[in-house]
Chain A
Amino acid sequence: MTALIARRPPLGALLAGLCLAALVLSALLGPLLSPYPYTQTDLMRTLAPPAWMDGGSWDHPLGTDQLGRDSLSRIFYSLRITLIIGFIGTAISAALGSLLGMIAGELRGWVDAGVMMMVDVQASLPFLVFALTALAIFGNGFWVLLAVIGINGWEGYARLARGMVLSLMHEDYVTAARAVGTRRWRLYRRYLLPGIRSAMIVQFTVTLAGTVLLESALSFLGLGIQPPVTSLGQMLGEGRDYLLFAPWIALAPGAVIVLLILSISLLGDWLRDLLDPFET
């Protein structure tokens, strides 16, 4: 066990960690690093290619879009939005799902049945379908978007937390703790959370990747983040129309999304191997 923890991470996980750290850092420092405000247009220099291509210049390292906005500055900003929404959305679904799962496991009976039925319903709808339906019904405002993204993945946490509560209640040490009158919340904090932590961390990386993907997909379809605010998916969606003349507008944010997802999922895989030696 200790040997497992002490084991050096494999190269892939190491690179993924570095990559993710670099992405998060550039999202944090984005405003300082950006050469231009992300909304600043320059109609004299529209569709300028990146610096290393013919006709490019270091004024706009990654070129400009159809309105002459600097791609690099927009990517810094987009990354920031994508990550903020990703983390907030994941945190919401983790809190919501764990709470519902714990309540279901604790109260049992019809509450449990109800929660599990909602889990079934959620599992029967591909999440993008659920999101599209919600956006169609409630309109695509920012808060609706955040709510939809926050709901994404809750059922995973609910299953996890419920299962944990149920199995915990059968443990002798918990029975003993209850017998001496330990309070519920103390019981959870003391016994449930430590036991559930590693599974939660793994679940978090899975949901984080899913949340980023969902936001990007919705924004790509023009149903998520609305201009002038931008996100990686939205940039990609806009750039798609210019593939013929200015492919960099779409390809640059596309590459960033791939790097982001790849590093999150590689880290997630490594964490799962590390924290759960019984898998694989």
Chain B
Amino acid sequence: MSAYLARRLVRSVVTLWLVASIVFVAFRLAGDPLNVLLPDSTDPITRAFYIEKWGFDKPLVEQYLRYFYNLAQGNLGQSYVSGRDVTAIIAEALPNTLLLGLTALAGSVLLGVGAGVVAALFRGTVIDRGVMLASVLAFSVPDYVLGVALIFVFAVQWMVLPSSGSATWAHMILPLVTIASSGAARIARFARSAMLDALNAPYLRTARAKGLREGRVVLRHALRNALIPIVTVLGFQLGFVLGGAAVVETVFAWPGIGRLFVLSTAARDLPVVQALTLLIAAGVIAANLAVDLAYGWLDPRISLSGGRA
């Protein structure tokens, strides 16, 4: 248990450190940020002020160490654009994304696992085909196309739901559907094949031979085994939600970190972009670590052998 997890933990930390370092190096590679940020006509005194303020005059190693020192302190600098603390800007936007993203994640997991399991149980029937067709369609319609189409139908044609903003809970519905549908489609396909594997496994026949009720056979024996591979998709899924947030939040003008990311990229507000990149990477890495934990908890074969069998 511990050896495996310790190794995973070290690997996660190293990955995060690498991401941070790459971001640091990339920022310095990009040339003098002042040329990007300040108009050419800026007088030398103002330039010097900003160079000092942002620490560009220090040697690279010192900048690098200071960068990590600040990261550890939670000091992510100030926005080039608004001059406000990046931490404050993100703290404003993050809850909105978490609300939307986690609700969508929960919805897509429930819907996806449910649909996939039902499709597997009714393999080859109309139900199975219907689920698979719906999942291929949902999977193939990109978030931004779906979002625009939903706005067109529900906000423009029928005028039953608001198209953008976050004032009421009704504002959440369209972005929620947009994020959850592709996630559910992905999970459903995966859940179906994992469940089919479990349903065809010899141990399922053993469970039936004991005379257990079909409900218990399916839930306790098949689903319990199918969940092990399904859990791995959830790690990816958080990444998709966070990446997709940029698009969906922009489409629906949802004031979360995804929209913030797009706006900051367009404005080349590097401190905000840097902070968001690190935040999202940390989120995905943490999610994958959580998946590994869940994996070890779900699959007794892992914890003791010290690796995946």
Q: Are A120 and B11 in contact (CB under 8 A)?
A: yes
Contact of A250 among B26, B152, B193 (CB under 8 A): B152
Which of A121, A136, A237, A261 contacts B268, CB < 8 Å? A136
Q: Which of B139-147, B167-175, B203-211, B226-234 contacts A (4 or more CB under 8 A)?
A: B139-147
B148–A240 CB distance below 8 A: yes
Give the chain B neighbours of A121 by CB distance below 8 A.
Answer: 15, 18-19, 22
Are B149 and A251 in contact, with the CB atoms below 8 A? yes
B266: A residues at CB distance < 8 A:
222-223
B30 at the interface (CB under 8 A from A): yes
- Of residues 59 through 114 on chain A, the ones whose CB sits less than 8 Å from some CB of chain B are none
With a cutoff of 8 Å between Cβ atoms, the chain B residues found around residue A257 in the complex are 142, 145
Q: Mark A228-269, 1 if CB is under 8 A from B, else 0.
A: 000001001101100110010011001001100110011001
Instruction: Please give, as numbers and ranges, the residues of chain B lying within 8 Å of A27 by CB-CB distance.
Output: none
CB <8 Å contact, A117 and B15:
yes
Residue of B nearest to A121 (CB): B18
Which chain B residues numbered 1 to 40 have a C-beta less than 8 Å away from chain A?
Answer: 11, 14-16, 18-19, 22-23, 26-27, 29-30, 36
Q: CA A266 – CA B273 in complex, angstroms?
A: 36
Report if A177 contacts B (CB, 8 A).
no
- Do the beta carbons of B148 and A243 come within 8 Å of each other? yes
Contact flag A125-B273 (CB < 8 Å), given A236-B144, A265-B139: no
Among residues 255 to 295 in chain B, which have CB atoms less than 8 Å away from a CB atom of chain A?
261-262, 264-266, 268-270, 273-274, 276-277, 280-281, 284-285, 288
A125's contact among B136, B137, B281, by CB below 8 Å, is which? B281
Q: Which of A43-51, A127-135, A157-165, A193-201 contacts B (4 or more CB under 8 A)?
A: A127-135
**Is the Cβ of B140 less than 8 Å from the Cβ of A261?**
yes
Contact with B along A146-169 (1 / 0, CB 8 A): 000000000000000000000000
Question: Of B15, B196, B250, B261, which one neighbours A124 at CB under 8 angstroms?
Answer: B15
A213: interface (CB < 8 Å): yes
Q: How many A-B residue pairs have CB under 8 A?
A: 135
Residue in A118, A127, A139 whose beta carbon sits within 8 Å of that of B243 in the complex: A127
Check if B19 sits within 8 Å of A217, measured CB to CB.
no
Q: Are B26 and A137 in contact (CB under 8 A)?
A: yes
Q: Which residues from chain A contact B139 at a C-beta distance below 8 Å?
A: 265
Check: B251 CB closer than 8 A to any chain A CB: yes
Which of chain B's residues has its CB closest to A232's CB?
B145
Minimum CB distance partner of B277 in chain A: A133
B144 touches which of A132, A217, A269 (Cβ 8 Å): A217
Q: Which residues of the other chain, B, contact A124 by a CB distance below 8 angstroms?
A: 15-16, 19, 239, 281, 284-285, 288
Task: List residues of B (180-227) whose CB comes within 8 Å of A's CBs.
Answer: 193, 196
A-side contacts of B140, CB under 8 Å: 258, 261-262, 265
Instruction: Among A221, A258, A280, point to the contact of B250 (Cβ < 8 A).
Output: A221
Report A13 CB to chain B, min CB distance, Å. Answer: 11
B284 touches A137 (CB 8 A): no
Nearest-CB residue, chain B, relative to A256: B145
| Interface residue? B119 (CB, 8 A) | no
A42 to B39, CA, bound (A): 36
**B242 interface residue per 8 A CB criterion:** yes
9 A-B Cβ contacts within 8 A? Answer: A125-B281, A126-B244, A128-B247, A137-B26, A220-B247, A257-B145, A258-B145, A261-B140, A262-B140
Chain B interface (Cβ < 8 Å from any Cβ of A): 11, 14-16, 18-19, 22-23, 26-27, 29-30, 36, 136-137, 139-145, 148-149, 151-152, 156, 193, 196, 239-240, 242-244, 246-247, 250-251, 261-262, 264-266, 268-270, 273-274, 276-277, 280-281, 284-285, 288
Chain A residues packing against B (C-beta within 8 Å): 117-118, 120-121, 124-129, 132-139, 213, 216-217, 220-223, 233, 236-237, 239-240, 243-244, 247, 250-251, 254, 257-258, 261-262, 265-266, 269, 280
List 9 extra interface pairs beyond A221-B250, A221-B262, A236-B144, CB under 8 A.
Answer: A124-B16, A124-B239, A124-B288, A126-B242, A139-B36, A223-B266, A254-B148, A258-B140, A261-B141
